[in-house]
Amino acid sequence: MTQLLLNIDPVLIDWSRAQFALTAMFHWIFVPITLGILFIIAIMETVYVKTGNPEWKRITKFWMKLFAINFAIGVATGIILEFEFGTNWSNYSWFVGDIFGAPLAIEGIMAFFMETIFIAVMFFGWNKVSKKFHLTATWLTALGANLSALWILVANAWMQYPAGMQFNPDTARNEMVDFWEVLFSPVAVNKFLHTVTSGYTLAALFVIGVSSYFLLRKRETLLAKRSIVIASVFGFISVMALIFTGHGSAVQVAEHQPMKLAAMEGLYEGGQEAELIGFAILNPNKEVDNDEKPYLFKVGFKGVLSFLIDFDTKTYVPGIADLVYGDEQNQILPTEERMRKGKIAMNALIAYKEFKEQGNEEEAKLQYDILMDNYKHFGYSYVKDPRDIVPHVPTVFYSFHIMVIFGTMFVLVFLIFAWLTITNKIENFKFGKLLYIIGLACIPMAFIASEAGWVVAEVGRQPWVVQDLMTVDAGVTNISSGAVQTTFWIFAFIFTGLLIAEVSIMLKFIKDGPAKPENEGGK
Amino acid sequence: MITAEITHLFFQQYWWLLVSLLGALLAFLLFVQGGQTLIYTIGKTETERKMIVNTLGRKWEFTFTTLVTFGGALFAAFPLFYATSFGGAYWLWIVLLLAFTLQAVSYEFRSKAANVFGKKFYEILLFINGLVGTVIIGTVVGTFFNGADFSLNMLNNVTWHNETRGLETLLNWHSVSLGLSVFFLARILGALYFILTIQDENIFRRSKKQILINLIPFLICFLSFLTYLMIKEGFAVDANGTIFMEKYKYLHNLLDMPIVLASLLIGIIGVLWGVLKTLFGKNNYEKGFWFVAPGTVLTVFSLFAIAGLNNTSFYPSIADLQSSLTIQNSSSSLFTLKIMSYVSLFIPVMLALAIISWRAINKHKITEDEMNEKNGKSY
């Protein structure tokens, strides 16, 4: 039995997590552009087909080529992510594969295939198929890419909030009992909408940034202005939806992952009228078990956090300490108690299996009931110290605030660019140069905000690979940490090399600009 | 209870057939990889190489997507295989993944200005992908018949008993002979695809020569693989789920499932017919690809079928026989398989769309003129 309560090398966990984070963060450099720019391209091509104006075709082709450079490397990192669940998180893959595998397969069968099929037409079909067929292919590629995102985000949401399943002790895994509950879980819906709209926002800022470069250089101004009109309107709508769904996501986090919310806000002692932190500097000496002040400096708004959760400033929000040590008044079990219940569940599972093997159905049934009564604490059987359920607070806190601050700024950026291009004042704008530089600076800022969002989501839920049911220690593949360390560096080396090549190609392509009109669409 | 079990078995078999189909389609689509190893052998001038890279470049995503879907389908339908094999044979899979990662960017970056590493570098990556990708995929499928070095505990967590984590498979001649068969067949398919899609006399002539050159090692590897497969002991499973060794198991599987036997024979004939007609047919026969491709699909499909159906363990353990995986003990729950079966109805839709897209792009052969055109996308 001791074999089941695995004694996993903590170094292995760290490297396995680092490797997944590395792959995911590299992948996420390329995916958000893909998600958004495809719609922007599709809108541009629609204008071309409607007006027949070759300038719009030229604009469409220019952005399509930038998309193509970006797409290839997104795919390259994506395949590693898909298989990394198996190679590095094999125990996890079995424990939840019955639920988690389905969205991944559906992604392949329905979404990724669709994207691939129509991308071929989009890239190579300009002179081979009719204009309308080509336009349809472009829209369907955009749809396919976004459907891909849907399924993988459904899978991710399930890890944050396991729904629609039941544990089966015979197979020692969770099994799906309700597909719709998995697909339409409020966490999944919010996560999907929040993530894709973040992609749209980023892509819009990318288009605005590149166009700003042309304006700064006083080249391709027509292309730049037309691109900005479409991107800024598209971006404004997206960022508003982004903020709205961000709020929805936070409400879900409050409900299902209160520890993550507490870490996002650096909230150690909870209570009613909880404060929303606008910005703060955390006290680096603060731990859950000492009396240090949590912040060295802060700008907070009392009661606003409570209000945002359910529109009532009196709503109780638990802090990190409450979740670790419990709060009887608000019915929060101490983590130690949950660890005890988790161990009861684990022992019942082991006993169940033994009785089953002996053919003692009656005793097995008894153990089954004990297991099920305590199953929601199952993952706590792997927790060694109650303080281990606290994620790295500074990482989560700062990432969250950077994301929110940048996101809010983008609203203003879109409004200004939209206003100035729609009224055709952007070229003669008094502070034009400054504005174009801001436009350019928004590209890296958008990437930082976007990656920060994932850091909040994923670091914030540590140590859980499946919320409350499985810790990262229990989900990891049993392999030498040296092997994972080696692959980490191989991946880091290759991804960095590919990224350098990609950025270099993109910069050169942008610098050269789109093909000249007389040489329409060529390269 | 019995009914539920029978229904479950039905869906397990259905999903094994689908996985087999995806695996078979993947094997045929590996012509892209095979072709990638012939860029310099067949393309002697810059333009010839450009034509070769471009004809492959319009199809590489199909292969890639099929591989991803194949992996996804395995995860969804047989999660214990996914967990056991990927987590266990760590290095084998990592090498394969890296080979495909390098491919994905190579087409797009190869001829771009400021691509940092130069054209040749990306062509080398394409070659690595073509060689490593095909050999390893084939070798992994070989482990379906020869077993792997793992055991499972009560929670179905995998322990691998060899420190090389999967690379030891490369020492099993029988598995490797399948890997090499896939490699040489992929090259034959690649050369046939050039003949089918490129309008160029030199490429035609050299492709034909390459088909002949690769046919001989292909036949040696494949026939030794197949012969030994027919006479070797196989991993069988009885009604209680106990695994045992059965003499001539895979031969028995073929004889027990005549449709599979027919599919294998028709497949092999298709491959040979397509190749021979191209080599020795009159009037510069160009359509051999359309015999060899379906031939490959049928042959590989049959191999998958005899690996997993008819009470066979498709991923046997040589470290602990009873840890071996069968389609029954490694599958998803009945509920999940049913849900996934609804999803599988999209497969024919996607295939139909793929055919439409393929035909639209392949309407005309690639010519030197097209490559020199400034208008349009090329790699």
Per-residue pLDDT of A229-251, as tens digits, reads 999 999 999 999 999 999 999 99
- Cβ-Cβ contacts under 8 Å, A522 against chain B: 373-376
* Dist CA A522 CA B159 (whole Å): 55
Q: B154 and A504: CB-CB below 8 Å?
A: no
- For residue B60, being part of any structural domain is answered with yes
- For residue B347, being part of any structural domain is answered with yes
Matching residue, tokens 């290095």: B91
Q: What is the DSSP letter of B155?
A: T
H-state helical runs in B30-89: 31-36, 39-42, 46-57, 60-77, 79-81, 87-88
Amino acid symbol at A350 = I
* Dist CA A47 CA B259 (whole Å): 54
- Cβ-Cβ contacts under 8 Å, A91 against chain B: 83, 87, 155, 157-158
Q: What is the DSSP letter of A274?
A: P
Are A168 and A94 spatial neighbours (Cβ–Cβ below 8 Å)? no
- Which residue in A has a C-alpha nearest to residue B165's C-alpha? A479
* Dist CA B170 CA B304 (whole Å): 20
| Tokens matching residue A320 | 């990190």
Length in residues, chain A: 523
- For residue B61, being part of any structural domain is answered with yes
| Tokens matching residue A217 | 């250089």
Cα-based torsion angle of the residue sequence A378, A381, A382, A388 in order, rounded to the nearest 10 degrees: 100
Are A80 and A21 spatial neighbours (Cβ–Cβ below 8 Å)? no
Q: Is B354 on the interface with A (CB under 8 A)?
A: yes
**A2 band by pLDDT with thresholds 50, 70 and 90:** very low
Grouping H, G, I as helix, E, B as strand and the rest as coil, residue A509 is: helix
| Tokens matching residue B220 | 């040696």
Q: Can you tell me the mean pLDDT for A56-61?
A: 93
Burial of residue A388 (number of CB atoms within 10 Å: 0-12, 13-18, 19+): middle
- Cβ-Cβ contacts under 8 Å, A479 against chain B: 87, 90, 160, 165
Question: What pLDDT does A521 receive?
Answer: 40
Mean confidence (pLDDT) of chain A: 92
pLDDT tens digits, residue range A399-408?
A: 999 999 999 9
**pTM confidence score:** 0.91
Say which residues have a Cβ less than 8 Å from residue A57's Cβ, sequence separation at least 6. A45, A48, A520, A521
Question: What pLDDT does A286 receive?
Answer: 93
Domain count, chain B: 1
Please name the helix (run of DSSP H) or strand (run of DSSP E) that holds residue B20, with its range, or none.
helix B2-29
* Dist CA B167 CA B188 (whole Å): 27
Matching residue, tokens 């670091």: A459
Question: What pLDDT does A201 receive?
Answer: 97
Q: What is the DSSP letter of B375?
A: B
Question: What pLDDT does A1 receive?
Answer: 37
List Cα–Cα distances, A314 to A278, A320, A322, A329, in angstroms.
19, 19, 17, 15
Q: Which of A336, A352, A335, A334 is nearest to A4 (CA)?
A: A352
> What's CA A253's distance to the chain center, in Å?
14
Label residues A229-265 b or e (16+ Cβ within 10 Å = b). Answer: bbbbbbbbebbebbbebbebbbbbbbebbbbbbbbbb
Q: Which of A76, A95, A83 is nearest to A20 (CA)?
A: A83
The phi and psi torsions of B177 (rounded to 5 degrees) equal: -65, -30
Interstrand relation of B150-152 and A470-471 (parallel, antiparallel or unpaired):
unpaired
Q: What angle do CA A375, A379, A380 make, to 5 degrees?
A: 100
Question: What pLDDT does B215 receive?
Answer: 96
Q: B340 and A105: CB-CB below 8 Å?
A: yes
Are A212 and A426 spatial neighbours (Cβ–Cβ below 8 Å)? no
- For residue B208, being part of any structural domain is answered with yes
pLDDT tens digits, residue range A367-405?
A: 999 999 999 999 999 999 999 999 999 999 999 999 999
Amino acid symbol at B327 = I
* Dist CA B122 CA B153 (whole Å): 44
List Cα–Cα distances, A411 to A39, A240, A242, A403, in angstroms.
19, 7, 10, 13
* Dist CA A165 CA A500 (whole Å): 43
**B1 band by pLDDT with thresholds 50, 70 and 90:** low
Q: Is the peptide bond before B258 cis (omega within 30 degrees of 0)?
A: no
- For residue B360, being part of any structural domain is answered with yes
Q: A176 and B336: CB-CB below 8 Å?
A: yes
Question: Helix, strand, coil shares of chain A as percentages rounded to 5?
Answer: 75, 5, 20
Q: Above 70 in pLDDT, residue A189?
A: yes
Are A318 and A360 spatial neighbours (Cβ–Cβ below 8 Å)? no
Question: What pLDDT does A516 receive?
Answer: 75
The phi and psi torsions of A174 (rounded to 5 degrees) equal: -90, 140
* Dist CA B84 CA B79 (whole Å): 8
pLDDT tens digits, residue range A198-225?
A: 999 999 999 999 999 999 999 999 999 9
Q: B117 and A497: CB-CB below 8 Å?
A: yes
- For residue B250, being part of any structural domain is answered with yes
Q: Above 60 in pLDDT, residue A519?
A: no
Assembly ipTM: 0.91
- For residue B378, being part of any structural domain is answered with no
pLDDT tens digits, residue range B99-147?
A: 999 998 999 999 898 999 999 999 999 999 999 999 999 999 999 999 9
Length in residues, chain B: 379
Grouping H, G, I as helix, E, B as strand and the rest as coil, residue A278 is: strand
Matching residue, tokens 């802060």: A298
- Which residue in B has a C-alpha nearest to residue A137's C-alpha? B357
CA distance A170 to chain B (A): 9
Q: Would you tell me which residues 383-442 of chain A have a C-beta closer than 8 angstroms to some C-beta of chain B?
A: none
Domain that holds residue B352: 2-372
The phi and psi torsions of A271 (rounded to 5 degrees) equal: 155, -175
H-state helical runs in B111-200: 119-146, 173-197
Question: What pLDDT does A3 receive?
Answer: 44
pLDDT tens digits, residue range A135-152?
A: 999 999 999 999 999 999
Label residues B192-219 b or e (16+ Cβ within 10 Å = b). Answer: bbbbbbbebeebbebbbebbeebbeebe
Q: Which of A79, A87, A125 sits opposite B101 (nearest CB)?
A: A79
* Dist CA A30 CA A46 (whole Å): 24
Q: Above 80 in pLDDT, residue A10?
A: yes
Q: Is B104 on the interface with A (CB under 8 A)?
A: yes
Q: Which of B72, B102, B350 sits opposite A107 (nearest CB)?
A: B72
Burial of residue B34 (number of CB atoms within 10 Å: 0-12, 13-18, 19+): buried
Question: What pLDDT does A259 receive?
Answer: 96
* Dist CA B153 CA B322 (whole Å): 11
- For residue B244, being part of any structural domain is answered with yes
pLDDT tens digits, residue range B183-200?
A: 999 999 999 999 999 999
Q: A120 and B357: CB-CB below 8 Å?
A: yes
CA distance B95 to chain A (A): 10
